[in-house]
Structure 1
Amino acid sequence: MPKLIFVNLPVTDLTRSIAFYEAVGATLDRRFTDETAACMVFSETIHAMLLTHDKYRQFTAKPIADAHASSAALICLSAESRAEVDAMAERAGDAGGARDPCKVQDYGFMYGRSFEDPDGHHWEIMWMDLEAAKAAMGQGQVAS
């Protein structure tokens, strides 16, 4: 079985956050969802757990950061194409997130945009042509 990634995010309004992530392209997994948490599925291996502040506090004694005021993580998803990058960033903005809080990255072989969800969590969406990246870097392979 492949390793699964669960990114746990504290949210102030669970219903709003579910709607936002559905608009961006994630699907709700009702098996792991209740009035305190929602599991949003981006792929077979990538999930975002949206947790109310009370639920999130069950997992840490640290204060919950205001992601609008500080940064603790940049979460990046890959995309199949430049068009998919643009579509996801546009949907995020249309759904109430902040579109492109950082400048668009366009290196020809790699293209990326970003968004913040309504709680300020920063997401990046990147597309890369791996063969073009190898050629641009003058290598037979890109370091992993």
Structure 2
Amino acid sequence: MPTTVFINLAVNDLARSRAFYEALGYSINEAFSDENAASVVISDTITAMLLTREFFAEFTSKTIIDATTSTEVQLALSAESKDEVDELHGKALAAGATPAGEQDHGFMYSKSFDDLDGHHWDFVWMDPDAAAGGPPELSLDEMRENTTHS
């Protein structure tokens, strides 16, 4: 059985955040959703749990950061093609996301956004040959030249 990934995110407005992820084409698992949480099904093995900040706080003794001013993680989801990256990124922006940069290294292509609560996401396509055998030789300077941040 493959490992299942649960991404738990603190959100300010659960209904608004739920609608945002539905606008991206993801479904909600109602069995694990209520007034405190929405279970967003990204794939068979990835679920994003949108939790009210108060409910999220029940699972940690640490301070919950403001994702609009601090970054703890960068969440990346694979896409089947560059066109799918563009399509998904476009849906995110149309639903209220903020663009957060893009990269085109030839073998790897990505577009980033910050969701309604500032959580940083990327949609990424990687050439199947590069994914199997590693990226072509590129210097860090060359990769930085092909990266833009919004």
Per the alignment, residue 47 of structure 2 pairs with: 47
Whole-angstrom CA distance in 2 between matches of 1:136 and 1:31: 41
Aligned twin of 2:136: 137
Query: Where do 1:16-35 residues align within 5 Å?
Result: 16-35=16-35
Displacement of 1:19 in angstroms is 0.5
Counterpart of 2:24, as a letter, is V
Q: Identify which of 111, 114, 130 aligns with 2:112.
A: 114
Distance 1:98 1:6 in 2: 23
User: Please, what TM-score do these two structures have when normalized by structure 1?
Assistant: 0.89
- Residues 56-79 of structure 1, C-alpha deviation per residue, up to 9 Å, x if partnerless? 010011121000101000000000
Q: Deviations over 1:3-26 (max 9, x none)?
A: 100000000000000010111221
- 1:69 and 1:92 map into 2 onto residues whose CA distance is 20
Equivalent residues in 2 for 1:62-141 (5 A)? 62-99=62-99, 101-102=100-101, 104-132=102-130, 134=133, 137=136
Q: State how far apart, in whole Å, the 1-side matches of 2:48 and 2:33 are.
A: 11
Quick one: which amino acid aligns to residue 4 of structure 2? Answer: L
Query: Partners in 1 of 2:39 and 2:130 — Cα distance?
Result: 35
Structure 1 runs not aligned, ≥5 long: 139-144
> In the TM superposition, what is the alpha-carbon distance from 1:135 to its structure 2 partner?
7.7
Hey, what's the Cα distance between the residues in 2 that align with 1:30 and 1:111?
34
CA deviations 1:39-67 (Å, max 9, x no partner) are: 00110000100000111010011121000
* Percent of aligned pairs with the same amino acid: 49
User: Structure 2 CA distance, aligned partners of 1:125 and 1:28?
Assistant: 20
Aligned residues: 136
1:137, CA displacement in angstroms?
2.2
Q: Which of structure 1's runs of 4+ aligned residues deviate more than 2 A?
A: 132-138
Q: Distance in 2 between matches of 1:129 and 1:32?
A: 35
| Runs of 5+ unmatched residues, structure 2 | 138-150
- 1: CA distance, partners of 2:107 / 2:120: 23
Aligned to 1:11: 11
Q: Which amino acid aligns with 1:75?
A: L
Query: Residues of 2 paired with 1:64 and 1:135: CA distance?
Result: 36
CA RMSD of aligned residues (A): 1.4
